[in-house]
Amino acid sequence: MIKVLIVDDSAVVRQILSSELSKVRDIEVVAVACDPFVAREKILKHRPNVITLDLEMPRMDGLTFLGKLMRYMPMPVIVVSSLTPKGSDMAMRALELGAVEVMCKPGTAYSVGDLSRTLVDKIRSASLARCVKREEGAADEQEPAPRPLLRTTHKILAIGASTGGTEAIREVLATLPSNTPGIVIVQHMPEHFTAQFAQRLNGICQMEVREARNGDLVAPGLALLAPGNHHMVLRVSGAQYYVELTEHPPVHHQRPSVDVLFHSVARSAGANAVGSILTGMGADGAAGLLAMREAGAHTLAQDEQSCVVFGMPKEAIKLGAADEIVPLKKMAGKLLDALQTKELMTAR
């Protein structure tokens, strides 16, 4: 049984979420709290497995509370945020502080019930997450100097992630040099948040990072992030790669889907690609990574110890889709090694 604490200043939201979650056999709402001070007492008393957390609350805002929680008593937190530009920025900051998921709060509290199915899936995913204590200011630590890539070429690097992936992607991309071959990324994330995520990455990376637009060319020094609620597909025209965005049905209940991207990379780039599957719940991306490997791409999966949720990489490894199993801290270096090897093989 997954024990859940709901923290929200709206009595209506608390009641609706409690009512919806009570319909699920493997989830129990053990308590609700109207602000972080009440939440602290409920945490000590009930020891929940997952917390749902609003960000704008009286007495202490959700971000401050989240930062304290992750320093002293880390546990899986799902942030429920508004869709305003300010709310999106706050949700991205929450991910940096250690939240494992973010959800869009609808404009009116009475429509929160519409999110119950998605919330249930995220609670199940979050309950499996590994949370570690974070030192104050850990999210703002200076990133290591980018490792040089001696030669560049029109190769493709494809990355897929879900739960815990925002921080994993940040750690990988922040270490890559500005002349890294073009990157295409799928991170399971709600619509409206992907642009903000890309903007934050762009501020800390040597490469340009932005949300993909239909028809964007994939070029060295550029990383394209699939927008929320759109699949991203890699296409090739002559010697140029570009992306196409679609609204085809979800795959593995996800849009964007890592499998959709990886299968397209296998078809369009073949042995010219390198693929990496990072932390996340479920099996999205496993079959696509296998297709990439079978097409000649070099493939990597994040190891269990460094994953927040060892789901997607585990499924890929079980399929035999990964050439290498790599800790997150070594992932960027291994990707550069693989890209360099691809370049040298092409030059022969």
Catalytic residue positions, numbered? 162, 188, 284
Q: How far apart are CA 87 and CA 104, in angstroms?
A: 9
Cα 1 to its chain centre, rounded Å, is 25
